[in-house]
């Protein structure tokens, strides 16, 4: 029998009141940062949450981790409603849900050594003694591709990619079941980004972790996710398995996002018509479908009725009145990588492999 | 080629430090073709911004150009007096930056700043005429209801709008060369697509040359005619966009291409490059990529390889290119 979801968000909302007046302050509106978001995360899977700046990804993550209180909705962890748990139960929950932040520079305490940084969550949760924590730190350094001697260094002595590895090691220290990765590679250079993406994949395989992977870069998501949820202005507008979402997107916003990604292939240049208009403010969400002000296929009904997120095929949901009526998505008229470039990439991979083998003495 | 507007020759820009001069740009040679776009790509810290600031003669203290020429047609910008250079900046060359908020003045309206920029080029125009031109300039960068936006302040505009205003200001002097340093890096992809589209159209309209600096190979492929790949203060490969993407020669270029996640592909693992970019005070001897390069041989650690022609106009600074042959020999 299939296991139920590990983590579930049900109609989660987070509204920030906007107040006016100095002496008698009154609420004049609300920033609807997250406005009714539901999703499930299963054991061992990666669910990607993608969308443009300000659409509510980080807020959603913080609400499900109980780092901020929701305005509405429920959070279910392993079948238990944990929306209102406190004290020891909340601490236990926090142990199982760990977060890695975007900015590897800001998210580490500059005064703690790497060993102390990684061991801190174990101390907080009362796991092990000094000796066992020390051993665990060494294990985590190995696991995340750092070296034993790094333990006594300070964060400023590391590059961005290494700092992100430290952040990952720290999150792993308490053996969480779910890792929330909030743009874990956005601040990194591409060559380093690739190292961290590969590391996250390896760790997931070895440890059976579930990832809620937040990103704005759909190309990265294509490489890490099992399922993808696309957010727009505080709502999820489409969810599907990765292959399905990229080959058969059914929400006009998902299509616009996919089309806007610049492809590393000069022969495809200028192929897209960019989406018009500006993102509306979350203080002032348009009535009806919240995407209608920018949607290329909007009709009268879109201005009046808010389309619910509904199943349009097994495992594929979309919030658009015309989800089924959109034309076939002419997926990448595939140029792919040119043959010569392909050969060079293969040579590079082979040479790296050979060097790695040469560096490790045969057993 | 004689058909270039700008030619940078063996340019070196250094920062003085206690342990001697540190070269952020070290012997860069490149050309910007007339009416075309040169893309400069490389990872953080490789010297892209220092190179563009050197061309503009805006290198911050204590940095300075210590060697080389910046030929705008037959004038060497590196040798101009500060006053002459100011005239070039306000006339022939304009620049836009990554973060438009920091280059716009928050206390003046968008329209006032635009009029100011225009007055600098045309002291005789009346206020009414400048206002007309400013509104027209906003329209030209596709800002909706430009009359209303004219009176607004930078914080009232979205990031994409602000970048449009910056472009309008840069174009106020009808430059022959526009240098855009990561103009879309801070923007969302849908907004980025709008801005790139706008830049392309404006280039078509005006025939200006563009230097587009980015770390995003996708943006390069989308925009550039010619490409220079930078690593650790040097250009390691130059060629047409087709050369770089279809026939990459330098191991760094190959590694970069393998590191980018591609939407049309579903590889389980990305190639990635081992290690990270060294800071300028720790550049290794020989080829600067050698500690990270899978094709390294002892000779790579001896001398820094010069750019070598591997096809018409296609050059790479690697003694082992083409690498698939190097691999066979090593095997
Ligand atoms: N404490 C707060 N008070 C008021 N508004 C807030 C607060 N925190 C977030 N917001 C607003 O809520 C919206 C969603 O923010 P959030 O940080 O979740 O977006 P995001 O999708 O993570 O964006 P990014 O990609 O930029 O990180 C934004 O409009 C933001 O300005
Ligand atoms: N004032 C300074 N003193 C010493 N070194 C400096 C100074 N300013 C910049 N540098 C160094 O010059 C090198 C090149 O920097 P530059 O800003 O040109 O990189 P970049 O390629 O534009 O990177 P990014 O993609 O991060 O913008 C960097 O290693 C930087 O540390
Ligand atoms: S519901 Fe209408 S406006 Fe919204 S995405 Fe679908 S077609 Fe566009
Ligand atoms: Mg965020
Ligand atoms: Mg820069």
A334 in any annotated domain? yes
pLDDT at A273: 76
Show the CA angle centred on residue A330, arms to residues A324 and A333, nearest 5°. 165
Tell the burial category of B282 from Cβ atoms under 10 Å away from its Cβ (0-12, 13-18, 19+).
exposed
A14: helix, strand or coil: strand
A192·B322 Cβ contact <8 A: no
Question: Mutate which of B43, B49, B233 to test ligand 2's pocket (most atoms within 8 Å of Cβ)?
Answer: B49
ipTM of the assembly? Answer: 0.88
Atom of ligand 1 nearest to the CA of A59: 18
CA distance B242 to B221: 9
B261·A260 Cβ contact <8 A: no
A37 in any annotated domain? no
How distant is the Cα of A114 from the closest Cα of chain B, in angstroms?
19
A19 in any annotated domain? no
A228 in any annotated domain? yes
CA distance A216 to A197: 15
Chain A contacts in chain B segment 64-93 (CB below 8 A): none
B9: helix, strand or coil: strand
Fold that domain B4-92+175-330 belongs to in CATH? Rossmann fold (3.40.50)
**Mean pLDDT over residues B298-309, rounded?**
95
Nearest 5°: phi and psi at A206?
A: -75, -35
- Among A299, A305, A334, which Cα is nearest to A319's? A305
Contacts of A344 in chain B (CB under 8 A): 248-249, 254, 322-324
To which residue do tokens 């944990």 refer?
Answer: A82
Helix or strand (DSSP H, E) at B330? helix B323-330
How distant is the Cα of B187 from the closest Cα of chain A, in angstroms?
8
Q: At what angle do helices A190-207 and A160-172 cross, to 10 degrees?
A: 20
pLDDT at A310: 96
CA distance A134 to A138: 6
A191·B255 Cβ contact <8 A: yes
Contacts of B254 in chain A (CB under 8 A): 341, 344-345, 347-348
Give the pocket of ligand 1 (CB within 6 Å).
A 16, 31, 33, 51, 53-59, 216, 282
Q: Which ligand places an atom closest to the C-alpha of A291?
A: 3
- Percent of chain A whose predicted confidence (pLDDT) is above 90: 65
Interior/surface letters B217-237, b for 16+ CB within 10 angstroms, e for the rest:
bbbbbbbbbbbbbbbbbbbbb
B294·A354 Cβ contact <8 A: yes
Q: Which residue has the higher pLDDT, A47 or B141?
A: A47
How distant is the Cα of B215 from the closest Cα of chain A, in angstroms?
8
- Among B236, B310, B302, B298, which Cα is nearest to B273's? B236
Distance of CA B46 from the midpoint of ligand 2 (Å): 7
Q: Which residue has the higher pLDDT, B12 or B161?
A: B12
- Percent of chain B whose predicted confidence (pLDDT) is above 90: 64
**Mean pLDDT over residues A233-253, rounded?**
96
pLDDT tens digit string along B91-104? 899 999 877 667 78
Q: Which residue has the higher pLDDT, B2 or A206?
A: A206
Looking at B34-43, B117-126, B146-155, B242-251, which range is the least confident one? B117-126
**Mean pLDDT over residues A48-52, rounded?**
95
Looking at B5-19, B66-80, B270-284, which range is the least confident one? B270-284
pLDDT at A188: 83
Residue B2 has pLDDT above 60, yes or no: no
Confirm if A221 and A211 have CB atoms less than 8 A apart. Answer: no
**Mean pLDDT over residues A260-288, rounded?**
85
**Mean pLDDT over residues B257-268, rounded?**
79
Distance of CA B139 from the midpoint of ligand 2 (Å): 35
CA distance A141 to A165: 8
pLDDT at A12: 97
pLDDT at A362: 47
Residue B143 has pLDDT above 50, yes or no: yes
Joined tokens for residue B187: 């923007």
Provide the pLDDT confidence category of residue A200 given band limits of 50, 70 and 90: very high
- Residue A335 near chain B (CB below 8 Å): yes
pLDDT tens digit string along A286-338? 999 999 999 999 999 999 999 999 999 999 999 999 999 999 887 655 557 88
Query: Does A82 contact ligand 3 (Cβ within 6 A)?
Result: no
Joined tokens for residue B310: 């591997």
pLDDT tens digit string along A18-28? 887 777 777 77
pLDDT at B1: 46
Joined tokens for residue A107: 């998210």
- The most confident of the ranges A292-296, B86-90, B191-195 is A292-296
Query: Does A321 contact ligand 3 (Cβ within 6 A)?
Result: yes
CB atoms within 10 A of CB A249: 25
CA distance B80 to B140: 33
Evaluate the omega torsion of the peptide bond into residue A146 and state whether it is cis, within 30 degrees of 0: no
pLDDT at B331: 42
Q: Which residues contact A242 (CB under 8 A, 6 or more apart)?
A: A48, A221, A222, A225, A226, A227, A228
Mean pLDDT of chain A: 90
A24 in any annotated domain? no
Query: Does A230 contact ligand 3 (Cβ within 6 A)?
Result: no
- Among B252, B251, B179, which Cα is nearest to B213's? B179
Contacts of A354 in chain B (CB under 8 A): 294, 330
Query: Does A289 contact ligand 3 (Cβ within 6 A)?
Result: yes
How distant is the Cα of A327 from the closest Cα of chain B, in angstroms?
20
B262·A219 Cβ contact <8 A: yes
Q: Of B241, B258, B316, which to mutate for an interface test with A (greatest number of A Cβ within 10 Å)?
A: B258
Q: Which residue has the higher pLDDT, B87 or B144?
A: B87
Distance of CA B213 from the midpoint of ligand 5 (Å): 8
- Among A126, A106, A119, A105, which Cα is nearest to A170's? A119
Q: Return the biggest CA–CA distance within chain B.
A: 74
CA distance B111 to A101: 39
- Among A259, A293, A288, which Cα is nearest to A273's? A259
A352·B241 Cβ contact <8 A: no
**Mean pLDDT over residues A132-149, rounded?**
90
Domain ranges, ordered by start, for chain B: 4-92+175-330, 102-174
pLDDT tens digit string along A126-136? 999 999 999 99
Chain A contacts in chain B segment 247-286 (CB below 8 A): 247-249, 251, 254-274, 276-277
A246, A261, A350 ranked by CB distance to B218: nearest: A261
SS3 for A102-136 is CCCCCCCCCCCCHHHHHHHHHHHCCCCCHHHHHHH
Helix or strand (DSSP H, E) at B90? helix B82-91
Q: Which ligand places an atom closest to the C-alpha of A251?
A: 3
pLDDT tens digit string along B206-241? 999 999 999 999 999 999 999 999 999 999 999 999
Looking at A240-249, B65-74, B113-122, B304-313, which range is the least confident one? B113-122
Confirm if B57 and B85 have CB atoms less than 8 A apart. Answer: yes
**Any idea what the CATH number is for the domain that residue A333 is in?**
3.40.50.300
Confirm if B101 and B153 have CB atoms less than 8 A apart. Answer: no
How distant is the Cα of B31 from the closest Cα of chain A, in angstroms?
20
- Residue B183 near chain A (CB below 8 Å): no
B217·A266 Cβ contact <8 A: no
A99 in any annotated domain? yes
Mean pLDDT of chain B: 90
DSSP string, B228-269: EEEETTEEEEEEEHHHHHHS--SHHHHHHHHHS--TT---SS
A217, A260, A263 ranked by CB distance to B190: nearest: A260
**Mean pLDDT over residues A192-212, rounded?**
91
B327: helix, strand or coil: helix
Taking CA–CA distances from A346, the nearest residue in chain B reads B324
Range of the domain at A359: 43-71+80-363
Q: Which residue has the higher pLDDT, B191 or A3?
A: B191
Looking at A177-186, A255-264, B258-267, B314-323, which range is the least confident one? B258-267
Distance of CA A79 from the midpoint of ligand 1 (Å): 29
How distant is the Cα of B217 from the closest Cα of chain A, in angstroms?
6
Sign of CA dihedral A176, A178, A183, A189: positive
Distance of CA A323 from the midpoint of ligand 4 (Å): 28
CA distance A197 to A185: 7
Distance of CA A183 from the midpoint of ligand 4 (Å): 7
CB atoms within 10 A of CB B15: 18
- The most confident of the ranges A103-107, A333-337, B72-76 is B72-76
Distance of CA A56 from the midpoint of ligand 1 (Å): 6
Provide the pLDDT confidence category of residue B324 given band limits of 50, 70 and 90: confident
Entry pTM: 0.90
Confirm if B43 and B63 have CB atoms less than 8 A apart. Answer: no
Q: Whose CA is nearest to atom 5 of ligand 2?
A: B15
pLDDT at A6: 96
């Amino acid at each position: 029998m299939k296991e139920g979801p590990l983590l579930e968000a049900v109609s989660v909302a987070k509204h920030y009141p906007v107040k006016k007046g100095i002496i008698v302050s009154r609420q004049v509106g609300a920033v609807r940062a997250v406005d009714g978001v539901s999703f499930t995360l299963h054991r061992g899977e990666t669910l990607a949450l993608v969308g443009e700046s300000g659409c509510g990804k980080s807020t959603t993550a913080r609400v499900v981790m109980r780092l901020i209180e929701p305005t509405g909705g429920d959070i279910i962890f392993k079948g238990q409603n944990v929306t209102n748990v406190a004290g020891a139960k909340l601490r236990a929950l926090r142990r199982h849900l760990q977060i890695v932040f975007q900015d590897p520079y800001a998210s580490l305490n500059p005064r703690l050594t790497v060993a102390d940084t990684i061991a801190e969550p174990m101390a907080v949760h009362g796991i092990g003694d000094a000796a066992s924590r020390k051993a665990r730190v060494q294990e985590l350094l190995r696991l995340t591709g750092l070296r034993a001697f790094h333990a006594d260094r300070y964060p400023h002595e590391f590059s961005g990619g290494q700092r992100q590895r430290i952040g990952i090691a720290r999150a792993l220290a308490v053996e969480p079941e779910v890792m929330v990765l909030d743009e874990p590679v956005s601040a990194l250079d591409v060559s380093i980004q690739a190292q961290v993406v590969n590391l996250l994949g390896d760790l997931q395989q070895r440890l059976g972790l579930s990832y809620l992977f937040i990103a704005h870069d759909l190309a990265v998501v294509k490489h890490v996710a099992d399922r993808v949820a696309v957010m727009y202005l505080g709502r999820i507008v489409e969810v599907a398995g990765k292959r399905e979402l990229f080959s058969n997107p059914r929400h006009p916003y998902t299509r616009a996002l996919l089309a806007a990604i610049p492809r590393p292939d000069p022969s495809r240049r200028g192929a897209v018509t960019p989406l018009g208009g500006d993102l509306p403010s979350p203080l002032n969400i348009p009535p009806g479908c919240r995407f209608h002000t920018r949607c290329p296929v909007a009709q009268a009904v879109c201005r009046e009725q808010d389309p619910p997120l509904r199943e349009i095929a097994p495992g594929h949901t979309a919030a658009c009145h015309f989800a089924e009526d959109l034309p076939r998505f002419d997926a990448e008229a595939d140029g792919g990588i040119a043959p010569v470039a392909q050969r060079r990439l293969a040579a590079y991979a082979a040479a790296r492999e050979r060097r790695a083998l040469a560096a490790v003495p045969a057993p | 080629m004689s058909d270039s507007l700008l030619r940078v020759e063996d340019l070196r820009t250094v920062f003085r430090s206690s342990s001697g001069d540190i070269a952020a740009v070290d012997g860069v040679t490149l050309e910007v073709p007339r009416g075309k776009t040169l893309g400069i790509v490389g990872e953080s810290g490789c010297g892209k911004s220092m190179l563009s600031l050197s061309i503009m003669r805006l290198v911050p203290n204590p940095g300075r150009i210590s060697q080389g020429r910046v030929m705008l047609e037959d004038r060497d910008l590196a040798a101009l007096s500060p006053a002459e250079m100011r005239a070039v900046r306000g006339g022939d060359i304009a620049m836009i930056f990554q973060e438009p908020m920091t280059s716009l003045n928050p206390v003046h309206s968008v329209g006032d700043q635009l009029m100011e920029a225009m007055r600098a080029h045309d002291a005789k125009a009346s206020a009414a005429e400048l206002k007309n031109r400013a509104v027209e300039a906003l329209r030209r960068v596709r800002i909706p209801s430009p009359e209303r936006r004219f009176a607004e302040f930078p914080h009232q505009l979205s990031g994409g709008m602000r970048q449009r205003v910056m472009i309008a200001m840069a174009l106020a002097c009808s430059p022959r060369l526009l240098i855009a340093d990561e103009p879309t890096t801070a923007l969302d992809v849908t907004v980025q697509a709008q801005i790139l589209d706008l830049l392309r159209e404006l280039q078509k309209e005006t025939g200006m040359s563009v230097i587009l600096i980015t770390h995003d190979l996708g943006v390069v492929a989308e925009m550039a005619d010619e490409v220079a790949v930078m690593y650790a203060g040097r250009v390691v490969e130059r060629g047409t966009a087709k050369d770089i993407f279809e026939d990459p020669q330098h191991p760094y270029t190959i590694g970069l291409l393998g590191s980018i996640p591609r939407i049309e592909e579903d590889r389980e693992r990305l190639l990635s490059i081992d290690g990270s970019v060294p800071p300028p005070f720790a550049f290794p001897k020989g080829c600067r990529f050698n500690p990270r390069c899978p094709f390294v041989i002892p000779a790579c650690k001896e001398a820094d390889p010069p750019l070598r022609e591997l096809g018409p106009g296609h050059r790479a600074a690697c003694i082992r290119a083409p690498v698939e042959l190097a691999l066979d020999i090593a095997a």
